[in-house]
Amino acid sequence: MIDLQPVLEERFGMPVWLENNATTAAIGESLVGVGAWASNFIYLSFNFGFGAGVVINGKPYFGSHGNAGEITLYNDEESINRPALRYLLEELHQKGVQVDSIEDLRLRFDPNWPGVDTWLKRIQPTLDRLVNALSGLFDPQAVVFGGQLPVELGKRLIAATTFWGTHRYNSPPPRPRLLLSETNGDAAAIGAALVPLKERFFV
């Protein structure tokens, strides 16, 4: 892979920041959304694909190689059962529901469409595993369900998500709040626009 940042900086003669959409969405959420009350949270970005952004102590966490939030706990067989919206689109098309794109899905989503319940049942175990893993690893205040996720679909996902088991002392630890994005607009676009400000002024 080519690191485009230095190439673009040399070409344009000014600083350039490159992040994936889940990370920029998490940055946007930290500045104008959940970050108003939570300094530690995970942002789940439901788009054509599926990824996450991590915010620790109010700052995005990138990892040693810039890959923090890349969700790799699913093997090849499980991949189609992860909650990427592309697979919901495929399920809807198989049931005869005409949805043109992920954005069309977001704007016109109907929870009564045939195929929605089938998809939810299929992906819930993998989503549960992810949320439980993130809860244990990062102990966040919140797990934000965002990206291009339709509101009603997000509510159903949150309602169905289950935290597993009890603590070894029969007293479960505090769990993160599961909630929809609190940004007013596209968190990824907002985050991308605010990255230079955050890097230069909100340090």
pLDDT by residue (tens digit) across 20-45?
Answer: 888 999 999 999 999 999 999 999 99
pLDDT over 90 percentage in the chain = 63
Give the pLDDT band (50/70/90) at residue 191.
confident
Beta bridge partners of 147: 46
Domain ranges of the chain: 4-191
**CATH numeric code, 4-191:** 3.30.420.40
What is the number of other CB atoms lying within 10 angstroms of the CB of residue 146?
28
Q: Which of 67-71, 161-165, 189-193 has the lowest mean pLDDT?
A: 67-71
pTM to 2 decimal places: 0.90
Alpha carbons 195 and 20: distance in angstroms, whole number = 12
Q: Three-state DSSP class for 128? A: helix
- For 125-161, the pLDDT digits (tens) are 999 999 999 999 999 999 999 999 999 999 999 999 9
Mean pLDDT of the chain: 90
Whether residue 1 has pLDDT greater than 70: no
